[in-house]
Amino acid sequence: AAGVIQSPRHLIKEKRETATLKCYPIPRHDTVYWYQQGPGQDPQFLISFYEKMQSDKGSIPDRFSAQQFSDYHSELNMSSLELGDSALYFCASFSPNEAFFGQGTRLTVV
């Protein structure tokens, strides 16, 4: 069965650059969650979408934005990158009975 696809798997950016992370949820899943996980940290909920509308918002910096498109894939846009943005970013696709996380995008800001 298809899982949650995140791209790219790894990304290296310099400070002040912009990054875009993509998430393709499981087909027919209409909910996407983004999490940020710093080194040695637990994942932090960033933002979620339900039926292409933002449904909840967590600790997402103002420099970040996200959206869910008509095909339900989601993109997380990160601008003015800082060293502290280096983290593993998870996307989760969710249905009432099961949650599926992508394998994550490892972002390194240098």
Partner 1 sequence: AQKVTQAQTEISVVEKEDVTLDCVYETRDTTYYLFWYKQPPSGELVFLIRRNSFDEQNEISGRYSWNFQKSTSSFNFTITASQVVDSAVYFCALSESITSGTYKYIFGTGTRLKVLA
List of residues contacting partner 1 (CB under 8 A): 30-31, 33, 37, 39-40, 42-43, 45, 48, 50-51, 55-56, 58, 88, 90, 92, 94, 96-99, 101, 104, 106
Minimum distance of partner 1 from residue 103's CB (angstroms): 9
Please report where in the chains the tokens 């894939």 appear, as a residue. 73
Strand, helix or coil at 100?
strand
Distance of alpha carbon 23 from alpha carbon 79, whole angstroms: 18
Q: Say how many C-beta atoms besides its own lie within 10 A of residue 61's C-beta.
A: 14
Minimum distance of partner 1 from residue 82's CB (angstroms): 18
Minimum distance of partner 1 from residue 34's CB (angstroms): 11
